[in-house]
Structure 1
Amino acid sequence: MQAVELVDLNTLIQDCGSGWMLLFHPDFLYGHMLGTTIKSYGYFSYEFNEALHLSGKEEQTVAEIFTKIDTQKKAGNALLVQFEKIVNQYFDSQAAIDRGLPSMDDIASQLNISPRYMSDMLRTLTGQSAQQRIQEVIIEKAKEKLSTTTLSVAEITYELGLERPQSFNNYLKIKPTGPRLNFGRVLIKHISVSLS
């Protein structure tokens, strides 16, 4: 195991060969006690070619940590799959028409986790919050409906559970007209505003 300052990730990977790397940004430590004490550990001043030697027990601990990280990653991916399934089922059913946009509480409840944990996990996995992921699904559903149905934009906004499809229809009337799929850009802009 070796602690190094990361300058060039590609060079580091080539030089290290096989094994594990645990990389984190120094900002990750702000607000934690370790952030103030980490510089006192001598091995952070080792040269790149100097290894930090671990005892057998320490190696086992590190291996267990990586196993837990891998397990958490798999659990996170399963969470993402379940989240996408729930959201897609919601929009494929009459739920959006009956209840509007899905609530974070309802989705989290179906996943048996808290809304905050759900959003944090999704942000970790995808870089987007739960709300942003729902917005992506709505955009995809809107594109699909625009390209495969003869529904009006107002009908599509209604089917997707967006508020005030009539006012959205009025919004479209002041925009330049064009091919049907060009409305998608306007619809996507409206979706972004509605979910904000």
Structure 2
Amino acid sequence: MEKTNYNFDSIQAYCDCYNIPVKHPLVAVVDFESITEPQSYSAKWGLYAIMLKDTKCCEINYGRTRYDYDDMSIVCFAPGQLTSIEIRDGLSTPSGKAVLIHPDFLFRTPLAQGIKKYSFFSYDSTEALHLSVDERQTIVDTIERIRTEIDHPIDRFSKSLIISNIELLLDYCLRYYSRQFIVREKMNYGIIAKFDNLLESYLSDGKSADKGIPSVKYFADKVALSPNYFGDLVKRETGVTAQDYIHEKVLNQAKMRLLHGEGNVSQVAYSL
């Protein structure tokens, strides 16, 4: 059956889709258990969304790969991104929570600029954050504090307290992603080794002369990761950004070619 297409450009649009009451026009906490008739759909997001899924209840297509949710995972979307949600027969009723934030809510707050550091908003769904029981409880407690402030009558403290708790939620996600990189160190090392081999081959095969210096996205695609996740992984494992890593390799290649008399400065520069 063909999926319905939605444009979630406002809290109202999302809540209308699921017959959920709107308590605040720019921020919401949603309980998936309150969605009585879950449906498959495709959506373009105009909101930031932090989604905690407790059960294997649906598939999300986001980026290149289909991902089945396991217990206690978090995935995040940002304005401008496209997703496809598929509710499958035989899977559990959706369980979990979501925090939805309209970009206008961040206007004139430090988080408006600081949101850029939370690069996991641009991870693929295959790069979801998997939580321990204790981590999940911390996330739920923080979401409930956001809900409490939304439910509280609006006063001059409301926005700053909601923003503070949203930032706390995002910082916890950042901490737990850092932990996830650590526990996957062996797998990450294999990715870095593959990246290094791909980069060496790219330069030695002369591709740079025709195509120029390769981009981070080029290698992220080769190892089947999103550019943001790949960049964060490289920075975590090597201490430098993926772009700097590439540039260092190019410079080293240039030095070696000059030392071995493979051309003058202009010729070597052109070859790279």
* TM-score bin (small chain): 0.3 to 0.5
Q: Report the structure, 1 or 2, having the larger strand content.
A: 2
Q: TM-score, normalised by structure 2?
A: 0.34
Which structure has the larger Rg? 1
